[in-house]
Each structure stands twice: as C-alpha cells, then as structure tokens.
Amino acid sequence: MRVLNSTQMRDVDRRTIDEVGIPSAVLMENAGRQVVAAMEQYLPVLDDGSVAVVCGRGNNGGDGFVVARALETSGVTARVFLLASTSDVEGDARINLSALEALGVPVHEVAEPDAWASHLAEIVASDVVVDALLGTGLARPLEGHWKTVVEDLNACGVPIVSVDLPSGLSADTTRLIGETIDATLTVTLGAPKLALLVPPAATHAGDVVVADIGIPDVVIENVEGPRVEVITREWAQQQIGQRPDEMHKGDCGRVLIVAGSTGKTGAARLAALGALRSGAGLVTVATPRACQAVVASLMPEYMTIGLAETADGMVSADAIETVLAERCDVLVVGPGLGQGAGVRALVRGLVERAPMPLVLDADGLNAFAGADDAAAGLVGRDGRDLIITPHPGEMARLTGATVDYVQSHRVEVARELAMTQKLYVVLKGARTVVAMPEGAVSINVTGNPGMATGGTGDVLAGMVAAWLAQVLDAEAACALGVFLHGLAGDRAAAEQGEVAMIASDLANQLGPATLSLGADDPGGLHDPGDADDTVWPSAT
C-alpha cells in the first residue's frame, strides 16, 4: 500500500479531479461519510451520544461539515465549532457548510479565544470530538489560538477522531513539529501518510483507518516522487505459494549461520530456529569448537560445524576458510559472536569475500562500529546482496548518530545508509523500516512492545535468510520476514502477554502465523493480524 507525502497527495487529488473526472465535491462527500462509517465501527460510544466537530475553514473543515451532516441525519446529535468566520469558508467546504445551515445544525464561530472559552464546556460535555481543523498541508508549529485549542482538546478527556491527520502533525515527517492532537482514532483519506506510521509522530494517531474515498488505485500507484509503502497482509499472502509435491529439502534453501560464543550459544539456536520455522530446507550453525556440543544439543533439526576459536571462546579470524568452504545459499553472520578482534577480522573478511547473499546482524554489525569510518567496507556489490538488521543502537554506532536522532529520523537514516552503501537495511524497532539500495522504503505495522526482549532479533535474522534462500529477492525476503516476525509476536503476546513473552514464544508462533496467511487457518487460532489491511492499531 503506497504511502504519500503532502505533495503527492495534492497531485493525486488533482489527477483524480482533472483526469479521471471525479468532482472534488464527490471526494469531500465520500471522505466525510467514510469518517462516520469508521466512527460507527470503532466507537460504540456514538450510540445515543453527541459529537462536537471542530473545523477549520479549508477542505479538512469541509470534510468535518460532511461528518456533522451525516451524523445528524443518522440520529446522532452533532454540533460544529468553526475556528474562522463563516464568511471565510469557500469552495466545496462552503457548499457543505450551507447544507448544514439548511438542516439547522448549530455552527458556532470560535475564531477568537473568548468565543472558544465560552463554548469549551459544551465541547467537553460531548461523547466524541472530531478534529477537522487541519489536513496535510501543515509545515510549521501551531501558534497562538490554534495551539490553545489543541491543548484544550487534548486535556478534555473525550475520545478524539482526527480527519486525515491529527492537527499539528506534518504529513512529510515522522517528527513532532509542535503541539499535536492526541487522537483516539485517525481516519486518513485515500492513502496513509508517513506521520501516521512511524513514531514519534505516529504515537499521536491512535488507531488508524485508511478510507477509500474514490481515488483510483492506479492514480495512487503511479504518482511520482519517493516510494514508501506499508507491508500489507494481502502482499504477504501473495509471497507464500503452495509447495509442489516433488519438492525436497535441497529445493528449500541452505542457510549457514555463523553465530555463538561462550555464554551466548542461545543466540545461535534462536537464529537457526527462525530459519527452520521460515521454511529453510537445511540449516547449519557454524560456531566456536568449544560451543559446538552445546549448540548441537539445543536442537536436533540443524547441523553444526566447529570453527577455530580464540582463548576466550570466540571465533578466530582463521575460521574464514572453513566458513567459505561450506555450501550454502545464504550466509548469516553475527548473533552472539561477541566483539573480540578475531570476530571483527572474520566478519570483515566474510563481507569482503563471501560470494553468497549475506545477512549481517548483532555482533556482525558491531564489527564495523566504533571508528570514524564505521560503515567503510560494509558495502553491497553486484551479484551479492548484503542485508543488515540493526536495532537503533547498532544503527547509531554505524552512522555516528545518536540513538535519539536515529529514532526521530528512522526512515531518513535507513534510506541514506541503504543508498550510500548499496545494501538493504532492516532498521528494527516499533514500526520496523526496510530500506532498499535504490531508495524505496517499506514500513511494517505488525508487532508489539512485548518483542523488546533478548533474542527476537536473532530469530528475525534467521527468518530473513530463510526467505531469501527460498528464491525470494532480497527486498521481498526482508519485507516478508519482518511482517511475519511481527505477526508471530502479536500471536505470542495474545497468548503470553507482552510482559511475559520471550523470543522462543515468538519463534513458536511462526508456523501458526504463516498458516494464517492462507485462505483457511486449520489450527483455528485467533490471529491478532486478521484485521483488514486498511486498519492498524495504535503505534503507542
């Protein structure tokens, strides 16, 4: 599903009106009615309730006027509060304001602080507030009266439904630019916007519904400009085909995982489990000789290889020829390796010499951190895909940025590193970002805070490698891996709770999560990801 910035959204609107021939008034009518439909579905408090619709004078306010009219005609009491003079309202918004007046729906002008203050108690007494103040065009912080209005609405304790975007957010950044509505539900129009997807901005959106207002899909898909997409369930379903009857384990991909050190053998096991549960036909764990017996005892389904080691139980640089001699389709390097000099030399040597696709995680990434030219040598090349799966701390070390900067610029940081180094970046965390070498970005909306526990990243590294080994291209392998990883995490949280769940719980849900993408779920398990692709839960 395409994600649009403000310029792209304006272009989509223009082409729909001018080239497709759908009048702007029809789009506004559709928008308002879709907002009401979402409110009826997700806010049962609407029954026999009252709604305060707070509007600006532009098209977002016009959408709000349609919302008020649709509510009133359905039996819900609606009152409109306009932060402008009625004489300032023009165009399609004016038409819908006139329709409200004809129906006798109260429209209160609250353009001045005193007028706002006199009506605030009435707004607070409502069961729901609709935020139709500002749309996608905001580029600077709210000031003065507008800022006060937003502050008052946030303090009122009433559920807020934002139309298209919570007022105060910019559609073009994931950062907070100033005071912003804290929405309970955001009904975004036509296509999702970046600010609704990635924290910190997304934490103000509440639950998000993408409303179809009549803009043809082909117009959205063909709009020019940066390509950002949401990874959807429908897309993920299309990636997993039926296996032919004659398939054997060699057809399902060979994954070699260089992982583990004394005290960190569990990381090797979790990465291997992620690969096996994601369909890899043959998985081998290469680990220091002192760890081989322990790693082999943890699971019978994978093979093991002992590698040359240092006195402190980490792999030695001398192990490189052993690794390169092993037959595999995809190589995973990093989980639990430690950060010794030998590890650093081995990892850098493998990145330089390995001919097969490479997934680099955890200590594999730390081998490139800590220097002014941290990412030097961490480069993809023609004929060999390189995928890295950093968490924010690792990304900060690779780029020389702070963790706070990475978290507030997740899309920009991931995209820049991917394009500069010609590799694939899977920046883990709330709303994992997948960035491609050519600049495209995908955002994942599955997952939950319970996944913030040791070992879940190891599972993901194995998963991505397994899907890549099964002849998916690197972009699809990353996107499908993070989608299923989050979906399995959601299922694990539903069974164990976010506090109690551990990485093994997530890994054990990979089978049911994958099954649930089929037309039928033979296990009959409830899937928290069963919701429509046009709806996703709060990012908080």
Residue 521's pLDDT band (cuts 50, 70, 90)? very low
- The pair phi, psi for residue 238, each rounded to 5°, is -70, -20
Q: Are 145 and 113 in contact (CB under 8 A)?
A: yes
Report which DSSP code applies to 242.
Answer: P
Q: Which amino acid is at 310?
A: T
Average the pLDDT over 60-69 and give the result. Answer: 97
- The CA distance from 129 to 123, in Å, is 7
The arithmetic mean of pLDDT across residues 203-229, rounded, is: 95
Q: Are 459 and 270 in contact (CB under 8 A)?
A: yes
Longest dimension (CA), the chain: 85
Q: Please say whether the beta carbons of 322 and 353 come within 8 A.
A: no
**DSSP 8-state symbol, 194:** G
pLDDT digits 0-9 by tens, 95-143: 999 999 999 999 999 999 999 999 999 999 999 999 999 988 788 999 9
pLDDT band at residue 178 under the 50/70/90 scheme: very high
Closest to 529 measured CA to CA, from 355, 515, 540: 515
Whether the predicted pLDDT of 260 surpasses 70? yes
* pLDDT-based confidence at residue 382 (cuts at 50, 70, 90): confident
Q: What is d(CA 191, CA 12) in angstroms, rounded to the nearest whole number?
A: 10
Please state, in angstroms and rounded to a whole number, the distance separating the CA atoms of residues 339 and 161: 49
Q: Given this structure, which CATH class describes domain 2-226?
A: alpha beta
User: Distances from the Cα of 75 to the Cαs of 48, 122, 130, in angstroms?
Assistant: 8, 19, 17
Residue 106, C-beta contacts closer than 8 angstroms, at least 6 positions apart: 79, 80
CB 124 within 8 A of CB 155: no
Q: Which residues lie closer than 8 Å to 80 by C-beta, 6 or more apart?
A: 53, 54, 55, 64, 65, 68, 100, 105, 106, 107, 108
H or E element at residue 78: strand 77-82
Q: Per this entry, what is the length of the chain?
A: 540
pLDDT of residue 57: 95
Strand-pair partners of 229: 2, 442
| Dihedral pair phi/psi, residue 426, rounded to 5° | -110, 95
**Where do the domains of the chain lie?**
2-226, 235-239+248-532
**Structure-token pair, residue 515:** 């099954």
Contact 121, 26 (CB under 8 A): no
Chain centroid to CA 364: how far?
Answer: 24
Residue 375's pLDDT band (boundaries 50, 70, 90)? Answer: low
> Which residue shows structure tokens 């639990």?
336
Rounded mean pLDDT, 33-61: 91
Q: Regarding predicted confidence, which is higher, 45 or 488?
A: 488
Rg (CA), the chain: 26
282-288 vs 303-307, strand pairing mode: parallel
pLDDT at 525: 29
pLDDT tens digits along 469-513: 997 899 999 999 999 999 999 999 999 999 999 999 999 999 999
Span 265-300, pLDDT tens digits:
999 999 999 999 999 999 999 999 999 999 999 999
Contact (CB, 8 A) for 182 and 151: no
Pair 491, 509: CB distance under 8 Å: yes
Segment 85-104 mean pLDDT: 94
Q: Which one is predicted more confidently, 21 or 538?
A: 21
Average pLDDT of the residues of the chain: 92
C-alpha to C-alpha distance for 67 and 130, rounded to whole angstroms: 9
Q: Exposed/middle/buried for 512, CB within 10 Å: 0-12, 13-18, 19+?
A: buried
Identify the pLDDT of residue 45.
72
Say if residues 261 and 291 touch (Cβ distance below 8 Å): yes
Answer whether the bond into residue 200 is a cis peptide, omega within 30°: yes
Cβ–Cβ under 8 Å, residues 240 and 11: no
- How far apart, in whole angstroms, are the C-alpha atoms of residue 426 and residue 300? 30
Taking residue 50's Cβ as centre, other Cβ atoms within 10 Å add up to 15
- Model confidence over 390-435: pLDDT tens digits? 999 999 999 999 999 999 999 999 999 999 999 999 999 999 999 9
Q: Whose CA is closest to 394, among 360, 421, 423, 418? A: 360
Helical (H) or strand (E) element with 292: helix 289-298
Q: What is the pLDDT of residues 315-374, one digit of tens each?
A: 999 999 999 999 999 999 999 999 999 999 999 999 999 999 999 999 999 999 865 566
Q: What pTM, to 2 d.p., does this model score?
A: 0.92
pLDDT of 527 strictly over 80: no
Q: Residue 439 and residue 509: Cα distance in Å, rounded?
A: 32
Domain 235-239+248-532 has CATH 3.40.50.11540: no
pLDDT range class, residue 242, cuts 50, 70, 90: confident
Q: Residue 210 pairs with which residues in a beta bridge?
A: 188
Q: Are 289 and 308 spatial neighbours (Cβ–Cβ below 8 Å)? A: yes
